[in-house]
């Protein structure tokens, strides 16, 4: 419950600079509710803030500055306010910055925008014409509806003057209506598909959980195409039927369209969507409606977690293992973990859905912290693809080609049957390396610690770290010799050249994020491929994410060894997930699928686990290794990243921190580094990282805060703390 009180109010103010804490203001005449979004004076400015409670200061009310105005009537709930505080604590983010994430709706406090709409009037027009009849027929069909001028003229197929004429005749009424209208109601009672026995059992368990009205997390594991979506939509139905809101997080905007269509099929109306691709008007509408309960189901990107839901009963994190759930800039948080926190504070459920769960979630399920439900077989006649390695040591390869004769033969066979093949290579651009044959130097980015990657499509070299591009040089930037630069190694564009040369009659599609100007263009391309517009598809990791290509029966992984080099403890997990996901694209409909893995090390334990499909054994072995290393999820890890334009000075501060670790040693934590961060230089800034490892139960955040508190950073230095870093 939100209390309602007059007098002094404690308000968390949205400043750009850190403040010691909430400030006291005088509530307006009618009092204030806790959680209300208000505007208050701060120095000479007016800023937004959230009422945190009753005033507690020593000032009498007469000394307080008054609240300027109430911006949004619907207050943030207690669960939401707790979430902001707890997520700020967890990620060591200043609370004002967290508040900023929650309040970043455009036009907060603006008068509701109005628009003109038309409804059925009370009079018959004295003169009836066919166009007038058409308009009235549309209006009568949707008796309760209000149309804008544009909508009505389109629906009736008449010019706007016909509508204006009907208003004059009294047959239509003109009204002003608020622009921020609720989203169409979803019909939770509509029956879904007939579920298989396995699916029905899982759906029943999920429904029970939602019905309990208490917090709980379920790992819903099932191979691609086993019906996970179908099953978790049942939990959504239960949630809606109970009058609570539901949120479905997707890892990729391009998946939203297909998902919304599915929601419409299931519940008779579209869900609200939230991601970087929606308009400012939509953003504002959704923010308001979520707070007022006028949006029952939201589908969105990770930042949707910070929307002010009034009554959040369920959060689904689809493809929960996906690394895009981790935000790596600004506030560093993992949406999967924050979803669990949010639900635990609002008495809601979480469903983590994946064919290849993160090791964290697998372990949590093993330990009984999460419930686990498994869908073991694909729906209908589709079966999991057959997996086989192509031993590249034994394949005769000609110079500058990457498709082995065995893989080429398999593609050929698919083309003869009119089926699709996918060639997977997780490298954007034409060639990853541009090397000078005269001096041996590689062309590197001048701002970053990264190679420049040739993009022939753009006719430029591009840095994948900072996005800088330069024209393809004809002269080596190092030795200035002309005509000796050579492209080395394959990217998807180069692979496309090879495919075109080898299969000149094939229709080819290349799916790589930088070949599409917009999410919409990408979505259109994906839909065309699904409809059969290509024989061979070349794709980066973009294609691993949940797209459904019914005609696809062959997946060829060009370089299965790509992710296995390097010392990162997560390398095995990531490679396993990626290749299993990509392989899962094959054989979703009647025709059985096959996945061929080109590898130079078929005996590698990760490659063997991918081929054998003995996933439980793979996870158990990985978990044992992490446990022995005291690494997450068995221990806790944090990265501290220092950055500045001056490498030596950055290392100096890192070394200073590494010498003064009493606060960390007091909780038994170990410090490693300073060392160059995984991305060692970005946009001209050098990045140095210290890694801190602690026991699971150690109060890590508090010790980290105390450790860095005495550090005075010179101008142009930055310090960021990354709790649970992606690479370690
Ligand atoms: P996942 O999310 O595990 O990849 P989906 O829920 O997308 O699986 O299901 C894969 C395909 O099978 C979809 O086209 C879906 O409509 C269909 N499907 C799944 N379960 C059923 C069912 N019980 N009846 C009919 N079609 C189903
Ligand atoms: Zn760069």
Counting ligands in written order, the one closest to the CA of 444 is 2
Q: What angle do CA 360, 361, 362 make, to 5 degrees?
A: 95
In a domain, 686, yes or no: yes
CA 467 to centroid of ligand 2, rounded, Å: 6
Closest atom of ligand 1 to 196 CA is: 23
Same domain, 665 and 614: no
In a domain, 611, yes or no: yes
Same domain, 254 and 358: yes
The pTM of this model reads 0.84
CA 228 to centroid of ligand 1, rounded, Å: 7
- Among 142-151, 248-257, 604-613, 711-720, the range scoring the smallest mean pLDDT is 142-151
CA 202 to centroid of ligand 1, rounded, Å: 14
Residue showing tokens 């990657």:
453
pLDDT of residue 521: 78
For residues 159 and 131, give the distance between their C-alpha atoms in angstroms, rounded to a whole number: 9
434: left (phi over 0), alpha (psi -120 to 50) or beta: beta
**Cβ < 6 A, ligand 1 pocket:** 193-196, 199, 222, 224-230, 379
Quick check: 201 pLDDT over 80? yes
The order of strands in the sheet holding 452-455 is 452-455, 460-463, 469-471
The H-or-E segment that residue 176 falls in is strand 172-178
CA dihedral in degrees (302, 315, 110, 50; nearest 10)?
A: -90
Q: Which mutation among 193, 200, 223, 379 tests ligand 1's pocket best, with the greatest number of atoms within 8 A of CB?
A: 379
Rounded mean pLDDT, 247-275: 91
**The last residue of a domain, from among 70, 103, 136:** 103
pLDDT of residue 6: 63
Domain coverage including residue 170: 114-178
The H-or-E segment that residue 26 falls in is strand 23-26
Q: Which mutation among 225, 250, 318, 552 tests ligand 1's pocket best, with the greatest number of atoms within 8 A of CB?
A: 225
Helices 160-168/149-156 angle, 10° precision:
110
Q: Which two tokens stand for residue 259?
A: 């998902």
**The last residue of a domain, from among 62, 81, 103:** 103
In a domain, 459, yes or no: no
Same domain, 251 and 313: yes
Confidence of residue 277 (pLDDT cuts 50, 70, 90): confident
CATH of the domain at 719: 3.30.70.600
Counting ligands in written order, the one closest to the CA of 450 is 2
Q: Which mutation among 191, 192, 230 tests ligand 1's pocket best, with the greatest number of atoms within 8 A of CB?
A: 230
pLDDT of residue 111: 63
Give the pLDDT confidence of 211-228 residue by residue, as tens digits.
Answer: 999 999 999 999 878 899
Same domain, 120 and 206: no
Same domain, 518 and 666: no
Look at residue 340 and give its three-state secondary structure. helix
CA 684 to centroid of ligand 2, rounded, Å: 8
pLDDT of residue 240: 97
Confidence of residue 104 (pLDDT cuts 50, 70, 90): confident
CA 588 to centroid of ligand 1, rounded, Å: 10
Residues in the chain: 728
Closest atom of ligand 1 to 318 CA is: 2
Confidence of residue 1 (pLDDT cuts 50, 70, 90): very low
Same domain, 363 and 393: no
CA 223 to centroid of ligand 1, rounded, Å: 11
Counting ligands in written order, the one closest to the CA of 353 is 1
| Count of domains for the chain | 5
Same domain, 158 and 272: no
CA 463 to centroid of ligand 2, rounded, Å: 5
Counting ligands in written order, the one closest to the CA of 469 is 2
Q: Residue whose CA is closest, atom 11 of ligand 1?
A: 225
Q: Is 239 annotated as a binding residue?
A: no
Q: Is 466 annotated as a binding residue?
A: yes
ipTM here = 0.97
Quick check: 545 pLDDT over 80? no
Same domain, 509 and 614: yes
In a domain, 451, yes or no: no
**The last residue of a domain, from among 566, 593, 623:** 623
For the chain, how far is it from start to end, CA to CA, in angstroms? 43
Same domain, 28 and 172: no
Counting ligands in written order, the one closest to the CA of 549 is 1
Quick check: 120 pLDDT over 80? yes
Rounded mean pLDDT, 30-51: 86
In order of 282, 411, 483, 566, the CA distances from 26 in angstroms are 33, 73, 74, 59
The H-or-E segment that residue 5 falls in is strand 4-5
For residues 574 and 560, give the distance between their C-alpha atoms in angstroms, rounded to a whole number: 12
Same domain, 615 and 687: no
Same domain, 537 and 393: yes
**Among 29-33, 343-347, 579-583, which range has the highest average pLDDT?**
343-347
Closest atom of ligand 1 to 382 CA is: 12
CA 429 to centroid of ligand 1, rounded, Å: 34
Q: Which mutation among 193, 195, 227, 234 tests ligand 1's pocket best, with the greatest number of atoms within 8 A of CB?
A: 227
In a domain, 471, yes or no: no
Q: Residue whose CA is closest, atom 14 of ligand 1?
A: 225
Q: Residue whose CA is closest, atom 9 of ligand 1?
A: 227
Q: Residue whose CA is closest, atom 5 of ligand 1?
A: 227
What Rg, from alpha-carbon coordinates, does the chain have? 29
Q: Residue whose CA is closest, atom 6 of ligand 1?
A: 227
CATH of the domain at 118: 1.10.10
Cβ atoms 55, 7 nearer than 8 A: yes
Rounded mean pLDDT, 396-412: 94
Same domain, 605 and 710: no
CA 230 to centroid of ligand 1, rounded, Å: 6
What is the rounded average pLDDT for all residues in the chain?
Answer: 88
Residues 6 or more apart whose CB falls under 8 angstroms from that of 421 comprise 410, 411, 414, 415, 535, 536, 537, 552, 553, 554, 555, 556
CATH of the domain at 397: 3.40.50.300
In order of 161, 277, 283, 463, the CA distances from 280 in angstroms are 31, 10, 5, 31
């Amino acid at each position: 419950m939100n209390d309602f009180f007059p007098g002094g109010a404690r308000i968390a103010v949205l400043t750009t600079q850190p403040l010691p804490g909430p400030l006291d203001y005088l509530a307006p005449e009618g009092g204030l509710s806790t959680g209300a979004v208000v505007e208050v004076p701060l120095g000479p400015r007016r800023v937004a803030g959230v009422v945190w409670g009753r005033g507690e200061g020593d000032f009498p009310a007469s000394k307080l500055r008054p609240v300027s105005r109430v911006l949004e009537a619907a207050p943030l709930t207690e669960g939401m306010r707790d979430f902001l505080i707890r997520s700020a604590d967890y990620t060591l983010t200043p609370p004002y910055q967290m508040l900023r994430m929650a309040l970043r709706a455009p036009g907060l406090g603006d008068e509701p925008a109005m628009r003109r709409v038309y409804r059925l009037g009370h009079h018959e027009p004295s003169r009836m014409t066919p166009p007038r009849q058409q308009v009235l027929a549309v209006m009568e069909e949707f008796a309760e509806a209000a149309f804008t001028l544009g909508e009505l003229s389109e629906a009736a197929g008449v010019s706007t003057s016909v509508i204006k004429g009907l208003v004059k005749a009294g047959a239509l009424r003109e009204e002003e209506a608020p622009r921020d209208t609720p989203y169409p109601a979803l019909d939770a009672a509509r029956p879904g598909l007939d579920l298989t026995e396995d699916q029905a059992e899982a759906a029943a368990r999920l429904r029970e959980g939602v019905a309990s009205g208490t917090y709980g997390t379920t790992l819903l594991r099932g191979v691609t195409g086993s019906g996970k979506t179908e099953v978790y939509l049942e939990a959504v139905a239960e949630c809606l039927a109970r009058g609570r809101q539901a949120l479905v997080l997707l890892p990729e905007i391009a998946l939203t369209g297909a998902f919304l269509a599915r929601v419409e099929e299931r519940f008779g109306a579209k869900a609200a969507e939230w991601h970087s691709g929606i308009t400012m008007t939509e953003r504002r509408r959704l923010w308001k409606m979520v707070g007022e309960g006028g949006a029952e189901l939201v589908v969105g990107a990770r930042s949707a977690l910070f929307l002010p839901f009034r009554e959040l009963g369920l959060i689904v994190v689809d493809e929960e293992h996906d690394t895009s759930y981790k935000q790596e800039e600004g506030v560093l948080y993992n949406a999967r973990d924050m979803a669990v926190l949010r639900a635990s504070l609002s008495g809601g459920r979480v469903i983590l859905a994946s064919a290849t769960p993160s090791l964290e979630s697998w372990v949590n399920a093993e330990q009984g912290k999460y419930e686990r439900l498994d869908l073991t077989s694909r729906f209908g006649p589709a079966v999991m693809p057959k997996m086989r390695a192509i031993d590249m040591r034994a394949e005769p390869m000609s110079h500058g080609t990457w498709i082995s004769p065995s893989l080429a033969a398999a593609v050929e066979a698919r083309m003869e049957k009119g089926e699709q093949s996918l060639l997977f290579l997780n490298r954007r651009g034409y060639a990853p390396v541009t090397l000078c044959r005269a001096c041996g130097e590689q062309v590197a980015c001048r701002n970053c610690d990264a190679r420049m990657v040739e993009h022939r499509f753009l006719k430029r070299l591009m840095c994948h770290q900072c996005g800088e591009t330069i024209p393809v040089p004809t002269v080596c930037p190092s030795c200035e010799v002309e005509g000796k630069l050579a492209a080395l190694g394959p990217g998807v564009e180069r692979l496309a050249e090879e495919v075109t040369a080898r299969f000149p009659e094939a229709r080819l599609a290349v799916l790589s994020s930088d070949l599409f100007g917009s999410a919409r263009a990408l979505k259109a391309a994906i839909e065309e491929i699904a409809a059969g517009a290509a024989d061979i598809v070349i794709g980066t990791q973009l294609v691993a994410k949940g797209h459904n290509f019914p005609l696809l029966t062959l997946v060829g992984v060009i370089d299965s060894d790509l992710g296995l080099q390097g010392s990162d403890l997560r390398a095995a997990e990531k490679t396993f997930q990626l290749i299993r996901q990509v392989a899962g694209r094959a054989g979703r409909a009647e025709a059985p699928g096959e996945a061929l893995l080109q590898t130079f090390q078929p005996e590698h334990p990760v490659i063997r686990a991918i081929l054998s499909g003995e996933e439980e054994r793979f996870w158990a072995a990985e978990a044992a290794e992490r446990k022995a290393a005291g690494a997450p999820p068995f221990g806790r890890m944090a990265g501290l990243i220092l950055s500045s334009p001056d490498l030596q000075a950055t290392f100096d501060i890192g070394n200073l921190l590494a010498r003064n670790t009493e606060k960390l040693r007091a909780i038994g934590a170990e410090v490693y580094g300073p060392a160059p961060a995984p991305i060692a230089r970005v946009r001209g800034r050098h990045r140095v990282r210290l890694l801190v490892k602690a026991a699971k139960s150690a109060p890590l955040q508090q010790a980290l805060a105390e450790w860095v508190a005495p550090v005075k950073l010179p101008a142009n230095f930055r310090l960021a703390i990354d709790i649970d870093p992606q690479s370690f």
